[in-house]
Amino acid sequence: MSKKKNKNATSIGQELENLLSEKNMTAEQIARKVQMPERYIKLIIAGKMIPKIGDLVRISKGLGVSSSRLEKSL
């Protein structure tokens, strides 16, 4: 996981935030569902962390959407 902030991190974070809103879920709820730290999810949303592909897949599955919705931001 990379801590550098860039355009991709911001795009992924925005898309994740949009998906959470569409699904009426919070960062805490998705973190619990996919068994990841809430802080990690919040860092992704804030655009401060680029998650690994495997983590994107887990988050996508937890949201019930195709992983391509988040991967397209990479």
In tens digits, the chain (74 residues) has pLDDT values of: 444 457 888 899 999 999 999 999 999 999 999 999 999 999 999 999 999 999 999 999 999 999 888 887 77
Type of residue numbered 54:
G
Sign of CA dihedral 2, 11, 34, 31: positive
Cα separation, 73 vs 8, in Å, equals 6
| Alpha-helical runs (H) found in 2-64 | 7-22, 27-34, 38-45, 53-63
